[in-house]
């Protein structure tokens, strides 16, 4: 059974009141991850995961499949870079549990599957809320409990230069203190009728305030601004996303208005 989950770009985030979640503003994108889940050849073995045909250790996906207690193999096809701020681990985990639920006839509710995928991400240290955005689609502001969703069709361009380890970023106390202060202020100031351009502009102020942008990111944002668009840095990766331009960055996608689904 195959399922797709969109990637997600987090523009700004801050710790939520619940310790294992974050609040923020993120957008689901049409580039994502497809999980093809089938029964494992050895029903007694741990879950087997491949990415683009290569066997790999993929901690949150393996954790989630073990929680479902099914002898599963998950073959992942990633249309987004892994570890570069596109929520790839969350997309892979959510797609895998949605596919496994159908493949093995588990009859779990959508809410149960999303919570299970979220828990697997938290335990693996790879994310604090991507799956909530990837479950809903669109532009989402808030936290896992009570988010606001906006329907936006804005095209998005992006370029990625390298990974930033999410586990290390979340464990950096000084960085997370800046994130808590600057992220909360930025989120609280977002208007009710939020555009993706406004979010991107505020996101860039946030990124600079917490001190994450590299030289490559700064130069690319300046290039987008010179072309008349707005750009910022994806949280957390050495990745630039932009709106209001065409053909400036390497890749072009669009907002995905729907969440994870069977294929």
184-232: per-residue pLDDT in tens? 999 999 998 889 999 999 999 999 999 999 999 999 999 999 999 999 9
Backbone φ and ψ for 51, nearest 5 degrees, come out as -125, 120
What pLDDT score was predicted for residue 113?
A: 98
What pLDDT score was predicted for residue 9?
A: 95
* Tally of domains in the chain: 1
Distance CA 129, CA 23 (A): 8
Q: Which domain holds residue 201?
A: 1-263
- Which residues have CB under 8 Å from 145's CB, separation 6+? 18, 21
Instruction: Indicate the burial class of 45 (C-beta count within 10 angstroms; 0-12, 13-18, 19 or more).
Output: exposed
What pLDDT score was predicted for residue 132?
A: 92
| Domain CATH number, residue 193 | 3.30.230.10
* Residues of the chain falling short of pLDDT 70: 17-21, 143-153, 165-167, 170
């Amino acid at each position: 059974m195959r399922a797709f989950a969109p990637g997600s770009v987090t523009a700004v985030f801050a710790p939520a009141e619940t310790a294992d979640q974050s609040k923020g503003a993120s957008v689901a994108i049409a580039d994502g991850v497809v999980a093809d889940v089938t029964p494992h050849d050895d029903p007694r073995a741990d879950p087997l995961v491949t990415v683009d045909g290569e066997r790999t250790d993929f901690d949150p996906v393996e954790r989630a499949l073990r929680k479902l207690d099914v002898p599963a193999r998950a073959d992942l096809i990633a249309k987004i870079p892994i570890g570069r701020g596109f929520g790839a681990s969350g997309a892979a985990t959510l797609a895998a549990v949605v596919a496994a639920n159908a493949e093995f006839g588990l009859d779990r509710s959508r809410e149960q599957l999303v919570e299970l995928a979220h828990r697997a991400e938290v335990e693996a240290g790879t994310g604090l809320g991507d799956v909530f955005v990837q479950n809903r689609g669109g532009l989402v502001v808030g936290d896992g409990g009570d988010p606001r969703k906006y329907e936006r069709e804005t095209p998005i361009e992006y370029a990625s230069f390298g990974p930033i380890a999410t586990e290390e970023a979340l464990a950096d106390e000084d960085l997370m203190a800046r994130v808590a202060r600057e992220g909360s202020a930025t989120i609280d100031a977002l208007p009710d009728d939020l555009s993706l351009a406004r979010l991107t502009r505020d996101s860039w102020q946030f990124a600079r305030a917490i001190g994450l942008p590299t030289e490559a990111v700064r130069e690319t944002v300046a290039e987008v601004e010179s072309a008349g668009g707005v750009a910022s840095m994806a949280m957390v990766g050495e990745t630039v996303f932009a709106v209001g331009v065409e053909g400036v960055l390497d890749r072009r996608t669009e907002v995905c208005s729907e969440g994870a689904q069977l294929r």
